[in-house]
Amino acid sequence: MKKTLISLVLIIVLLVSSGITAGAFNINNYEMHHDAGLIAYPENDTIIYSKNADQKMYPASIAKLMTAIVMVENIDNFDTEYITYSKEAMDKILGTGSAVYAGDGLKIGEKMKASEALAALLITSSGDVAYAISEHVGGSTENFVKMMNDKAKDMGLTGTNYTNPVGLHDDNLYTTARDIYYLAKYAFSIDKIKSLLSHTAYTFEATNFHDSITLPASNLMINPNSNVYYRYAVCGKTGFTSKAGRCLVSMAEYGGYTYIAVVLDAKTINGTRNEFVDTANMFRWAFNNFEYKSVLDASTPVTEAPLHLSGEYDHLPICFEGGLKTILPKEADSSTIEYKITLNSEEYYAPVNKGDVVGKAEIFYAEEQIGTLNLVAGQTIKASPLLVFLDSAKTFLTSLPMKILYVALALVIVIFVASVIILNKGKKQKRRVKYIPLSKEERDDLRK
């Protein structure tokens, strides 16, 4: 089975963050049994492995994570608010094959505390409870689905669309592995949801139709008695339909590191639930091969640029903003990181404040770009008052208004000189005496 290249998405700490793609790493020590998935480091959204991460897929009951989010964000008191199961809700679930509460399903008119409904939704993945929740929170299932899609839009899940709150197959109910990662990251950050998804079983309170009952969780990965148990898995949500295949989104924690893995359309081979197997293998690979590290220093200049108007410095030192801190293969260090620098200008002028953005650097690892960092001034440099004055004077004297003034003055001078010449010429003509020649007799008289 062909594997895709790793995608590394870097979010730089401190003032600037930027997503990045990188790395030519493969999970090559075992066979993958799923059509799409990924594993990511949620602290800075670094996706260290992905397979068809943006391909349209069906989420099955993983869609209930969005149902849970909308429910949690629209119910004030989970211990005092009750949800009632209606005939309309029953009609929607009948014949779908979806899991129902307690094996025999909710009864029309059955009331369940909101906290118990959330547990049934997440732990046993009960479809009838999902419909009851949708009517209670949204007023109708149709309006609740709109709330789900509005929330997806708000979260930036551009590859996701919901048509029901259960995850029942519909060609128009779809998502991507990448969207599920961000959905799960959001859901797992809500204590009510994460804590329920960490249960291996749950004892439900009695209702007006059911006695108290203990039901197992659908996520076998967190059950120590399961043959697919993974000791570092802390929570997760399963899903299955014949079209979606076996699906799982799960979180694992070990040694100070947390990862979220997504597996979609996994195949069950010879009875082996490979959504759990593939997820555990990705977790092991990540824990064994990656670590969070600083590989580019923020304080050491990486280049410099000509600087003007300073009496002390003629070059500006330039550094990486915040340095490079992210999850990387353990063998990665500063010697394996390359970068391409682009400055905003060929030269700079004092005053300059330390941290002023002056350019950017494209960062590369394993011959692929893993991100973009801002380049900033490495120190504060004051301007020389004299140099600033002379530069201002030069700028003023060579400015466009002054050039226009120079041209205007020149035109005035030319006009003035021309006017003077013309006036002087006229005066000379006025002073000129008309010459009248003497007659012969007058000339003879003069000779006498």
pLDDT tens for each residue of 200-234 = 999 999 999 999 999 999 999 999 999 999 999 99
**Distance from C-alpha of 325 to C-alpha of 152, rounded to nearest angstrom:** 30
Dihedral-angle region of residue 43 (phi above 0 means left; psi in -120 to 50 means alpha; beta otherwise) = alpha
Residue 107 CB partners (closer than 8 Å, separation 6+): 85, 209
pLDDT the model gives residue 306: 96
Query: Are the C-beta atoms of residues 260 and 248 closer than 8 Å to each other?
Result: no
**Distance from C-alpha of 110 to C-alpha of 387, rounded to nearest angstrom:** 84
| Nearest residue to 141 (alpha-carbon basis) of 73, 85, 182 | 85
Tokens encoding 187: 């859901």
pTM of the model: 0.77
| Nearest residue to 244 (alpha-carbon basis) of 387, 401, 57, 108 | 57
Residue 363 CB partners (closer than 8 Å, separation 6+): 10, 20, 296, 324, 337, 338, 339, 369, 370, 371, 372, 373
pLDDT the model gives residue 12: 27
Please report how many Cα atoms fall inside a 13 Å half-sphere around the Cα of residue 283, on the Cβ side. 27
pLDDT in tens, 176-200: 999 999 999 999 999 999 999 999 9
**Distance from C-alpha of 317 to C-alpha of 304, rounded to nearest angstrom:** 5
**Distance from C-alpha of 45 to C-alpha of 182, rounded to nearest angstrom:** 9
Give exposure, 344-382, as e/b (b: 16+ Cβ within 10 Å). Answer: eeeebbbebeebbebbbbebbbbeebbbbbbbbbbeebe
pLDDT the model gives residue 7: 38
pLDDT the model gives residue 30: 64
Encode the chain (448 residues) as per-residue pLDDT tens digits.
Answer: 333 333 333 322 222 233 333 333 567 666 789 999 999 999 989 899 999 999 999 999 999 999 999 999 999 999 999 999 999 999 999 999 999 999 999 999 999 999 999 999 999 999 999 999 999 999 999 999 999 999 999 999 999 999 999 999 999 999 999 999 999 999 999 999 999 999 999 999 999 999 999 999 999 999 999 999 999 999 999 999 999 999 999 999 999 999 999 999 999 999 999 999 999 999 999 999 999 888 888 888 999 999 999 989 999 999 999 888 888 888 888 788 899 999 999 999 999 999 999 999 998 887 777 778 999 999 999 998 988 788 777 777 787 887 887 788 888 888 888 888 888 776 666 555 555 676 777 667 666 6
pLDDT the model gives residue 386: 87
